[in-house]
Structure formats: structure tokens, C-alpha cells
Structure 1
């Protein structure tokens, strides 16, 4: 069954975990592109420049289509993967977590590293406000001015959210619709051959 909702964190947060002298400082950020991720990584690496590792994971897009985990020199799958696992287990997207590790002099071993990065990531998530959002599709409809009443009736009857309008001789209106209702709405607009409907993006 299609899930029409997704979750993301409203605000940046900070978490912390300590294991045998090693300190794990976690930073959570809402992100919406790889450029956002790169910008936040540069910021934290500068802020925590003395840390031995800056491990991270992120998930982007309402359909969670972009996912990545990075161990930054830690043994394979002991850092990025457990961080990513916490994002996944909380059903979050548009979320980046970076964990800066300060070595405490005692090696933690694979189980200790996995536990530490997991708990640091979890602490950052628990400090945030989780928002539940609806997956929507955005469309543009082009039409001549005499069709404006027909268009606005469709908008009102189907409770569509208007993003922008341009009402001149050649009119344009951009609206959003919940993804699970999109097919039905598209059919209604296409039944009027004087309206030209174009899909723009999923948000």
C-alpha cells in the first residue's frame, strides 16, 4: 500500500555519547540536496577540526531515493551504517547526521563502534521535533481567460493548493495535489480539452 506521508526533522539538533573515553558528538540537520550535505560537512569539519573522524549518513527526498553512509576511516560499516540505520528506523527523510569522534585512547572494537555511533545518532534525533508531511505532486495548467471559472471550480471542488497564478489573455496556474489523489485530478483536468496540464515535480 502506498504511503502518502513522510517525516522529517524541523530543526538542527546536537547529540552526545561517551564510550571508554571516546566522545561522539552528533549533529543533525534538515537537508534537501547534496549541496546542503556538502555545506554542512564543511561547517562541522571546521567546527570539530580536532576530531579524528567525521562520519555521516543522510536520506533525501520524500521517496527517500537518495541515501548514503560514510565511515570516514572507521572500519567498514561501523559508523555510517549505524547512523543511517537510526534515520531509517525513525522513518525520516531530508535528514543528515554527522558524528564527530574524539578518540579516548582505548580501541572500542567493531561492536563498540557500532553501538557508539548508533547511540550518538539516536540522541540527536530524540532532541528534534519530528514533522509529518504529505507527499504532493505539482502541476501547471495553461488556459485562455474564458476558461478561468472552470479552472477555479476544479481547484475549489477538489481543495487543491494554489502555488501561483498568472491571469492574462494566456493564463497559467500552478497547484499541488496529494500524490494519492493525483491520478483522479489529472483525469478531471484532461476531460476539458481547452486546458493544458503539465506535471512539474513531486515534493
Structure 2
């Protein structure tokens, strides 16, 4: 996977159950970055719930939905796997595999009912587990005199900059992460604040995770 883009995914692996007309629908969601990862998750969940009526699944791998697959696992064609995949895509989730396990409760739901049930299982499951935005950021560090630390901290808090750590020695070293496109502007503001007496050192690039709490996924 190329580290070029920001994307949404689930906060962690987990499961969530809903009951519709006595049928239990258990959505198990996992982060998966390869098709092999996805297949392992599907196999493990299918084994765990081997006595279930159906273990349906969907996955999307890659930042451009490079590999997608959906399975109805014996449910009427198009009523389970595809609605699950569409639910993942509607939420703009990437690198996620979902297995929705159904224990039949004796009441038939019909095609429309099944589509809603499987789709809702995924959406409610992802919302219960939590969604994060993975943001590719650049590490920057710089030195600050002790008597300027409060001022700089106040500035960084106001700018909503993610500070990774602060080390204290002869002076203070602040390590932070910033979106690459915002780096030049931040450096300029800090230089102005510190009257040009600051040097920045670039570190690694890495994904940091920001929790999404508003569920208006289309806006991110």
C-alpha cells in the first residue's frame, strides 16, 4: 500500500450484534491491508461461527478499492455481500473486511429486508467500533528556550497541532506531526513567533489516526 493519501478506516477490530425479527446478525470487522489478510479473517470468523446459518462477507482492499469481493454464502443472490460492500464504500472505509454472521430466527425477511439487515449490520458495527481518519504526516522537531515554552505550547494548542513528545534538556525539544501541505505555513508562523531563532529538523513520515465522531463520512 502506498503511503500517499489520507483515508478512513475502522478504529480497531471488533464485532457488533443486532437482532431483526429474531434473527441474530453479528458483524465482525477487521482492518486488512492485503487479500490474504482478508481471507484469514473470513476463514477465522467462519470457523468461530461454524454452526451459523450463513457467514456472508465483503472486503475492500487498497485506497482506490483495488481489490473488492462480496459473498452471499447461501443467502438469495445480491442480498448480503453486495449490500455489505456498498455499506463499507458509502462510509468511505478502506482496508476493511466484514463478515456478517446470521443465525436464522424462524421469520423470513424477504429480499428487501435482508438487504437492509446486512447493510445496517455493517454501518452500525463500524459506528459502534469507531471510525478513524488515517492522516499521513511529517515529523518536525525544534528547540525552544524554557522561557518561551508556555507561549509555544499555547500557539500549538490553538493551531490544533499534534505534539508527539517534549524532551527537556539544556533547552526544550518539541516533536510534532503536521500535514505536509501545512508544514511551510507552520514553520513561518513559528519563526515569526520566535523572531527567527528556530531551526526545524524533519523526521519520518507516518500515519496518525484522528477519531471521527460526527459520522458525516461524505464530508471527510
TM-score in terms of structure 2 length: 0.59
1:57 matches 2:58: yes
For residue 124 of structure 2, give the secondary structure of its aligned residue in structure 1: helix
Equivalent-residue separation in structure 2 for 1:67 and 1:135 (angstroms): 24
Q: RMSD in angstroms over aligned alpha carbons?
A: 2.6
**Which aligned pairs between 1:16-95 and structure 2 lie closer than 5 A?**
16-95=17-96
- Displacement of 1:38 in angstroms is 1.3
For residue 56 of structure 1, give the secondary structure of its aligned residue in structure 2: strand
Q: State the partner residue of 2:126.
A: 125
Unaligned runs of 5+ in 2: 138-183, 185-200, 207-220
User: What are the superposed Cα offsets for residues 159-199 of structure 1, whole Å, 9 maximum, x if unpaired?
Assistant: 87547xxxxxxxxxxxx8xxxxxxxxxxxxxxxxxxxxxxx
- Displacement of 1:4 in angstroms is 4.0
- Displacement of 1:23 in angstroms is 0.9
For residue 29 of structure 2, give the secondary structure of its aligned residue in structure 1: strand
Equivalent-residue separation in structure 2 for 1:16 and 1:56 (angstroms): 15
Equivalent-residue separation in structure 1 for 2:65 and 2:89 (angstroms): 10
Equivalent-residue separation in structure 1 for 2:118 and 2:95 (angstroms): 19
User: What are the superposed Cα offsets for residues 58-91 of structure 1, whole Å, 9 maximum, x if unpaired?
Assistant: 1111222111111111111100111111111111
Cα 1:5–1:101 shift into 2, 3 Å: same
Equivalent-residue separation in structure 1 for 2:202 and 2:61 (angstroms): 25
Equivalent-residue separation in structure 1 for 2:203 and 2:85 (angstroms): 34
Q: State the partner residue of 1:10.
A: 11
Cα 1:161–1:88 shift into 2, 3 Å: farther
- Displacement of 1:133 in angstroms is 2.4
User: What are the superposed Cα offsets for residues 144-164 of structure 1, whole Å, 9 maximum, x if unpaired?
Assistant: xxxxxxxxxxxxx9x87547x
Q: State the partner residue of 2:108.
A: 107
Q: State the partner residue of 2:160.
A: none
Cα 1:75–1:161 shift into 2, 3 Å: farther
Equivalent-residue separation in structure 1 for 2:54 and 2:15 (angstroms): 17
For residue 50 of structure 2, give the secondary structure of its aligned residue in structure 1: coil
**Which aligned pairs between 1:162-177 and structure 2 lie closer than 5 A?**
162=204
